[in-house]
Chains A and B, each alone.
Chain A
Amino acid sequence: MSQKATNVIILTIAQGVNIVLGFLFTPYLVRTLDKNIYGTFSQVNLVADVVSLVFSIAIIQIAMMLFSNTNKRFEDSIKTVILFVLYGGILGAIFCIIFSFFAPSIFKNELLGMWLKLFSFSIIGSKLNLVLNQALIRINKTKFLMTLSVCSNFTKLSLALVALKVFQSVEMLLIVYALEPIISSIIQIALLKKTQPFNWAI
């Protein structure tokens, strides 16, 4: 079997496992949280998703195109893309914090302000994680990517379960959800640094 076919199969398995994990956890979340709490949690996710989309400027597709172009130096491409995502993420997080002061009156929901502030830093990690996935695929580290993706998702959901069952805290759940892509990105950058011995100073 060719390397490309193996990579596709590995990534499909990883995606499948993550979908199953999410499919098992979502009904639990829905039934555990009160209607208004689940609604507010969904609103926080909605706002963070929109802000992340607006500030990312289709960087995942751009990264995919740059990394698959063999005429481009991988070193230049990855540095530029990481810088771009980081700036976009930080701007998005700042915007989200500013928006959190107006959100309670716009959505008529007092809880939203505090939760948006807590969740705002997830915007930095969410797209960075996806861009680094593309970089790891480019250097043929799909097995590592599969293991990391499944393990981080499983850990996230386990911690989310602890946050809800033991601490009954949605704030803790939001922090777990926000931290997961950031920690995952740090591990991915560490591997990239180890395998790509170029000057990483930006």
Chain B
Amino acid sequence: MILKEIWQIGIPLYIVELLGNSYTYIAGFIISGYFGENEYAIYKKWKYGAALDRDNLCYYLNHYDGRYDHAYSVEKLSSGCRK
């Protein structure tokens, strides 16, 4: 009885959970699978606010293609980076 209920409730919830988390995981797999562990480390460090480490910030800005607005504010902090 409980098992039947688990399947009945579980499958829709499971689909919702998979779809809800899919963005994070797909992004993670694409970045780490396509670009490699170094780029993924930068992505993760950036995400957790540790990007103000000067070397990483410079690395990010040197590879920055101008698509994201938030990078402009960060750029002001990194006047020492050689582009």
Contact = CB atoms under 8 A, between A and B. Distances in A.
Interface of A: 26-27, 30-31, 35-36, 38-40, 42-43, 46, 49-50, 53-54, 57-59, 61-62, 65-66, 72, 76-77, 80-81, 84, 106-109
B17 A53 contact: yes
Contacts of A54: 18
A107 B44 contact: no
How big is chain B's contact interface, by range? 20 to 34
Contact of A62 (B9, B28, B40, B45): B9
Nearest to B16: A58
A39 B25 contact: no
B37 A43 contact: yes
Interface string B1-40: 0110110011101101110010001001100110011111
Contacts of B68: none
A37 to B, nearest CB: 8
Contacts of B40: 39, 42-43
B34 to A, nearest CB: 10
B32 A46 contact: yes
A53 B29 contact: no
Contacts of A59: 10
- B contacts with A: majority SS: helix
Contacts of A84: 6
Contact of A31 (B11, B16, B53): B53
B41 interface: yes
20 contacts: A30-B48, A30-B50, A30-B53, A36-B41, A38-B45, A39-B38, A39-B40, A43-B32, A43-B37, A43-B40, A46-B29, A50-B29, A53-B21, A58-B17, A61-B9, A62-B6, A62-B10, A65-B9, A72-B2, A80-B2
A43 B36 CA distance: 10
B35 to A, nearest CB: 10
Given A39-B44, A61-B17, A80-B6, 18 more contacts: A30-B45, A35-B38, A35-B56, A39-B40, A39-B42, A40-B37, A42-B44, A50-B29, A53-B25, A57-B14, A58-B13, A58-B16, A58-B17, A66-B6, A72-B2, A76-B2, A84-B6, A109-B37
B10 A58 contact: yes
A72 B42 CA distance: 48
A50 B17 CA distance: 11
Nearest to A53: B21
B3 to A, nearest CB: 6
Contacts of A38: 41, 44-45
Contacts of A49: 25
